[in-house]
Chain A
Amino acid sequence: MTTPATTDDRRRIDWLLTIAVVAVAATFIRAIFFTPAEARQGLAQKIFYVHAPSAFIGLYVAFGIVAIAGALYLWLRDERLDRVAASAAEVGVIYMTVVLITGPMWGKPIWGTWWTWDARLTLTLFLWFVFLGYLILRGAIEDHDTRARYSAVLGVLGALLVPFIHLSVYLFRTLHPMPIVLKPGHPSLPNSMLATFAMSFVSFTLLFVALLRARYRLAERVDALVAEEELEPSPMPNLRAEPIR
């Protein structure tokens, strides 16, 4: 049973999340006020400092964790791995939502269109729907083992899209540009922009770790509650046992 001491512990401020929020705020300030605008694209290029780190972390880190934790769950059947996968999927969907919102906002002034059905964009939207389905699936199944098993399979299969999304700019003719930082050789960015990108990458990674940790802890508490509630006797016998005064 939950003791008052542990409940008090949970009221403490999440310092990692606080530091991550401050780091992201500092990145926004640096990007807006202290980073030069790109000459041809104008100020819209600054969307890069939100869009690119969110895409990298959402796509490779979050959905990578979902796939690895899901595969390990199918092997080891450890419920902690299921919690890690579910938490990473939820945070990953949030990151990819930001990517899918900020991408068109960058595309409109540069490409002249909000959206185009090219390989990179279409596959990314499809991946987002797959992991949205993953979260809906988890909410729809009550039995813990069935839910964990089905969602692990979907998580592994969904993450198979990630290499296709990565290679889509090389394999197909797309409007989406090729990588300018994470590519073989030197990044095609001046140092001032590269420093802001590095700062945004670190701060969004920190935010991801903090959100994942907070979501995992929440899942742990909810699972403990559900397990205890299942052990509790029905309230009806209690009512009958209550003394008559």
Chain B
Amino acid sequence: MDWLDKAKERLQEALIEEGEFRGEHTWVLGKSSLSDSLVVLKDEFGFNSLVDLCGLDMGEGKSPRFYVVYHLRNMDSKAQIRVKVGLEEGEVLSSSCGLWKGADWMEREVYDMFGIDFEGHPSLARLYLPEDFPGHPLRKDYPTEGYDFEE
């Protein structure tokens, strides 16, 4: 049994959806147990590297409205997995800075661009944009032109 089946069995309860596209595996995990699932993936399955962490807005009226996407990698076995977790407007996700130090800036970027809060982040502030910037630009309802600054 390879690691994929083992991990699937181990995280059975958290796994909502799984898919494969162009040889890449994507799992959608439950939000409530996400931090536990990530700990399992890191400690038991050796995913020692957080390659990328980003936000994804599906658009207004979609459920879930947002995803936070983790690209994890086991640098010994070269295995890779994409983990997604769905969020609604205003929902908070627990920070993974304790697992991978590199998550710090990436979570700040998600907060900056999508307005998603991370609980337990050491200093959650905007990464790129000024503190007083209105809105979160990577949301689908944020306009690219004709933005009225008076509003």
A and B found bound together = no
Task: Name B residues whose Cβ lies closer than 8 Å to a Cβ of A.
Answer: none
